[in-house]
Amino acid sequence: MTVEEIMSVSTDYREDNQIKAFRFGRGRKSAAIVGAMRGNEYQQLYICSLLIHTLERIEERGAIVAGKEIMVIPSLNAHSANIGKKYWGKDNSDINRQFPGNEQGEPTSRIAAKVLSVASEYSYGIQFPSFYLEGEFIPHVRMFATGKENSSLATQFGMPYVVIAKPRAFDMSTLNYNLQMNGRNAFSIYTSTTVNIDEALAGQAVSAVLRFLTRMGIIRYQLHPGYIATVLGDKELVNVKSPASGVLHKCCHINQEVERGDILAEILNPYDGSVISDIIAPFDGIIFFANTEPLAFENSAVFKLIKKLHA
């Protein structure tokens, strides 16, 4: 293993923001793995630390295929973690909304430009981002429908689902999208938690990456074959919204099959605890996402259901 500082950015608080790359093996640049971009992505940082530790042992055993190189960048934004903020300390900007970046721009834009340049040298790009909604969800691999995506490759992680999402305007400034536009196979792995560390889910994410690297002929490693992944389009994930505002009392959990008419949650009066309204399953399906906020607001998405997957 070699460790290289690929970039350092001065900050107004505490030490400089140093971005370090951990490299394993030598030869063709095969896989670039990127972790936390926000200061509160503790799970994503932890996953990378476990992965680095495992890859170091794999390399010591001579189990990285000759002529292959793997790079792991565990964090792009240690600065925000150090000062207890989610986004960049000075201007509150989000690094994963700055790609492709500008080498002459603001700090987060310069970071994005440098990381995209380095990661684009590798055949495969793997990122551990946090979900844009607060809640829990079934772990999955996500790719953007750019016309350059390869869903068959995404199934090689052995995770339960692969989601192919139509990019929205803000998605076009993410690392995943820009790697794909640069002709790389890029995958985002979501593990259902961000600010809390979940050992089991972190282990599942590490296993998924090792499984992919093995199947792509980059490492030699034996582990469980994982799931036969189901590929979904984002239109197959249907929002179920709250009809009223109040305390959210969920009656169902993720990965649960529900039938049309089932009560998914109750909206309670925050003063007397009475039921204001029920959130009803509009069709048969499986709960993919469930909001974990204590309060629900009228017309806000509380669940995402996979429609008629079992039909």
In this prediction, residue 135 carries a pLDDT of: 87
DSSP for 213-269, written as a single string: HHHTTSB---------PEEEEGGGEEEEE-SS-EEEEE---TT-EE-TT-EEEEEEP
pLDDT at residue 296, rounded to an integer: 96
Q: Which of 228, 244, 262 is the last residue of a domain?
A: 228
| Pairwise CA distance, residues 113 & 207, whole Å | 29
Beta bridge partners of 104: none
Kindly state whether residues 20 and 163 are assigned to the same domain. Answer: yes
Chosen domain end from 202, 228, 254 = 228
d(CA 130, CA 192): 8
> Distances from the Cα of 250 to the Cαs of 72, 137, 236, 273, 280, in angstroms?
38, 14, 22, 14, 11
Same domain, 244 and 214: no
In this prediction, residues 238-247 reach a mean pLDDT of: 97
Q: Say if residues 141 and 159 touch (Cβ distance below 8 Å).
A: yes
Q: Which two tokens stand for residue 21?
A: 């790359």
Question: Is residue 118 domain-shared with residue 190, that is, in the same domain?
Answer: yes
Same domain for 252 and 188? Answer: no
Residues 148 and 224 in one domain: yes
Q: Which range marks the domain in which residue 154 is found?
A: 2-228
pLDDT for 310 equals 46
What percentage of the chain carries pLDDT values higher than 70? 99
Mean pLDDT throughout 258-269?
A: 97
What is the Cα–Cα distance from 120 to 255, expressed in whole angstroms? Answer: 35
| The last residue of a domain, from among 228, 254, 272 | 228
Q: How many domains does the chain have?
A: 2
Q: What is the DSSP string of 170-205?
A: GGGGSHHHHHHHTT-EEEEEE-S-SSS--HHHHHHH
Mean pLDDT computed over every residue of the chain = 95
Measured CA to CA, the distance from residue 206 to residue 217 in angstroms comes to: 17
φ, ψ of residue 43 in degrees (nearest 5): -65, -40
The domain that holds 83 is classified in CATH as 3.40.630.10
In terms of domains, do 302 and 219 share one?
Answer: no
Indicate whether 14 pLDDT > 90. no
**173 and 300 housed in the same domain:** no
The answer, yes or no, to whether residue 39 has pLDDT greater than 60, is yes
- Assign residue 276 the CATH number of its domain: 2.40.50.100
To the question of pTM greater than 0.85 for the whole model, the response is yes
Closest CA to 126 of 68, 63, 205: 205
Same-domain status, 175 and 115:
yes
Q: Are residues 188 and 88 in the same domain?
A: yes
Say which range, 3-17, 113-127, 166-180, 274-288, has the weakest mean pLDDT. 3-17
**Does residue 123 share a domain with residue 95?**
yes
Does 129 lie in the same domain as 32?
yes
170 and 289 share a domain?
Answer: no
Sign of CA dihedral 170, 167, 290, 75: negative
Please report, for residues 37, 70, 86, 144, 153, the alpha-carbon distance to residue 149 in angstroms, rounded to integers and kept in the order given. Answer: 23, 21, 30, 7, 9
